[in-house]
Amino acid sequence: MITISEASETIRMISEANLDVRTITMGINLLDCADSDCAAFCRKIYDKIARRAERLSRVGEDISKEYGVPVINKRVSVTPIAIAAAGCRNCDYVEVARALDGAAEAVGVNFIGGFSALLQKGITPEDRALLHSIPSALAATERVCSSLNLGSTRSGINVDAVNISARAIKDIASMTSDRDSIGCAKFVVFCNAVEDNPFMAGAFHGVGEGESAINVGVSGPGVVKRAIEAARGADFETLCETVKRTAFKITRVGQLVAQEASRRLGVPFGVIDLSLAPTPAIGDSIAEILREMGLEQPGAPGSTAAIAILNDNVKKGGVMASSYVGGLSGAFIPVSEDRGMIEAVRAGALTMEKLEAMTCVCSVGIDMAAIPGDTPADTISGIILDEMAIGMVNGKTTAVRVIPVAGKTVGDTARFGGLLGEAPVMAVNGFGCSAFVGRGGRIPAPIHSFRN
């Protein structure tokens, strides 16, 4: 029987430390919607998503009420559209994006991911058409998220695709300039993208997946912060054990919600993503964990080690709590979505260079960082290339989601609202790299890709 102190602990995590399930994401295969006629393809994907995910929001809300744990987002990810739409002749990708947006609205989800292409080794004509449509597609829709895989440990980095992506980021920024270039928040590029990530903007339903899957992203930076308050001044062994135990408890809640959603929707359970995802809410911050660990500000010397400890122990605790762990799984360090990170940037503690160093050991990469609107595309290519290189060489997933905020520069703040928060514009190293990124072509796979 559960004791009163155990019940109180769970309730305090939810009511005082923002424990929640960040997202229930339903992955849906769209390969069977292939049609040579674009309008027919759009109709088929709309119908399939609307049918498959019809009960997703309702089930999420029911589970939330019955178990008394908030389920913040219900979302859908689909087969990368460049693959699913490859059979269309003269495909209008903006129309495809509109169909996805309409389906997302119909089923009541706030984001749909999968306006995506896998470009790590080459670009097909369909990939190219999708790439060119991304700025218009993101400007024309509310809920559609786009992601690209630009490199992998096995294949190396496709520098041509990096350069196209950098230009796309500039175009998205200018097409949504009236809203602080918010379109860029819906676009992310990866190295070693995962096929079962439930988090946006990078979620897509990989071609190695089944017909449909329920993937759940848990959260709870506030719970970890509360727990390590009790370990103030203790040595690293105690600190790590505390994070591990807390991650176990948080993940068990995610596992319960995932299994229940899977059962009620009749869709197989895919994975739990063990990421600690912050929000702009007070007490829901990775930065506050770093401060509680003993750093004056994130970005101070020691920050990379602190993120490494956090990331590793979240995984160690979470793995035992779930039957299937996947997705990105680790600590997210988005700037705009974390109040403490925003403060650290304003205080001058956190720079792009330190952020990049921290991404070597975190689960994702440079995420939701606002940079000056006049940052050249080549410089953005350089930022992406650096991040892709970290992922490729270390055999981990890395990503870049930067927002060159139109008309704004260092000292200004971009305001996105909601979960996306706000971001002080960060300085970017002004020295050029055009001749380097302009070489184009592919960076060969690193030596440790030859494992066979």
Binding-site ranges for another protein (CB under 8 A): 1-4, 6-11, 62, 65-69, 249, 252-253, 255-256
Distance from C-alpha of 174 to C-alpha of 209, rounded to nearest angstrom: 35
Tell me how far, at minimum, the Cβ of 250 lies from another protein, in Å: 8
Tell me how far, at minimum, the Cβ of 82 lies from another protein, in Å: 39
Tell me how far, at minimum, the Cβ of 24 lies from another protein, in Å: 15
DSSP-derived letter for residue 197 is: -
Tell me how far, at minimum, the Cβ of 253 lies from another protein, in Å: 6
* Cβ closest to another protein, residue 258 vs residue 423: 258
CB of 94 closer than 8 Å to CB of 59: no
Which candidate, 16, 80, 73, 116, places its Cα nearest to that of 217?
A: 73
* Cβ closest to another protein, residue 76 vs residue 274: 274
Tell me how far, at minimum, the Cβ of 220 lies from another protein, in Å: 11
CB of 327 closer than 8 Å to CB of 315: no
Distance from C-alpha of 244 to C-alpha of 313, rounded to nearest angstrom: 5
CA 443 to chain centre: 25
* Cβ closest to another protein, residue 9 vs residue 142: 9
Take residue 29 and report the two structure tokens written for it: 């295969």
Distance from C-alpha of 404 to C-alpha of 425, rounded to nearest angstrom: 8
Tell me how far, at minimum, the Cβ of 107 lies from another protein, in Å: 20
3-state secondary structure of 73: strand
The values of phi and psi at residue 80, to 5°, are: -50, 125
* Cβ closest to another protein, residue 64 vs residue 379: 64
* Cβ closest to another protein, residue 257 vs residue 355: 257
The reply to whether omega before 201 is within 30° of 0 (cis) is yes
Helix or strand holding residue 316 (H, E): helix 303-321
* Cβ closest to another protein, residue 67 vs residue 324: 67
Distance from C-alpha of 102 to C-alpha of 100, rounded to nearest angstrom: 5
Take residue 259 and report the two structure tokens written for it: 């299994």
* Cβ closest to another protein, residue 201 vs residue 257: 257
Tell me how far, at minimum, the Cβ of 259 lies from another protein, in Å: 9
CA angle 109, 112, 115 (to 5 degrees): 165
